[in-house]
Amino acid sequence: MGATGSKLEKALGDQFPEGERYFGLENFGNTCYCNSVLQALYFCVPFREQLLDYYSNSKSIGDAEENLLTCLADLFTQISSQKKKTGVIAPKRFVQRLKKQNEIFRSYMHQDAHEFLNFLLNELVDILEKEAHAIKSDAESSSPSEKISNGPKTGQANGAQKEPLVTWVHKNFQGLLTNETRCLRCETVTARDETFLDLSLDIEQNSSITSCLKNFSSTETLNAEDKFFCDKCCSLQEAQKRMKIKKPPHILVIHLKRFKYIEQLGRYKKLLYRVVFPLELKLSNTMEDADSEYSLFAVVVHVGSGPNHGHYVSLVKSHNHWLFFDDENVEMIDESVVQTFFGSAQEYSSNTDHGYILFYESIGTGNKS
Catalytic residues: 32, 311
C-alpha to C-alpha distance for 129 and 170, rounded to whole angstroms? 11
Q: Which helix (H) or strand (E) holds 211?
A: helix 209-216
C-alpha to C-alpha distance for 179 and 193, rounded to whole angstroms? 6
Which residue from 188, 171, 143, 223 is spatially nearest to 47, judged by alpha carbons? 171
Which residue from 353, 339, 349 is spatially nearest to 311, judged by alpha carbons? 353
Residues 6+ away with beta carbon under 8 Å from 100: none
Q: Is 267 exposed, middle or buried (0-12, 13-18, 19+ CB in 10 A)?
A: exposed
Residues 6+ away with beta carbon under 8 Å from 274: 205, 206, 207, 342, 343, 344, 345
Which residue from 339, 355, 344, 343 is spatially nearest to 300, judged by alpha carbons? 355
C-alpha to C-alpha distance for 261 and 266, rounded to whole angstroms? 7
Query: Can you list the positions of beta strands (E) in 109-210?
Result: 175-183, 189-196, 199-201, 207-208
Q: What angle do CA 266, 196, 192 make, to 5 degrees?
A: 100
C-alpha to C-alpha distance for 138 and 132, rounded to whole angstroms? 10
Cα Rg of the chain (Å, integer): 23
Cα distance from N-terminal residue to C-terminal residue, the chain: 25
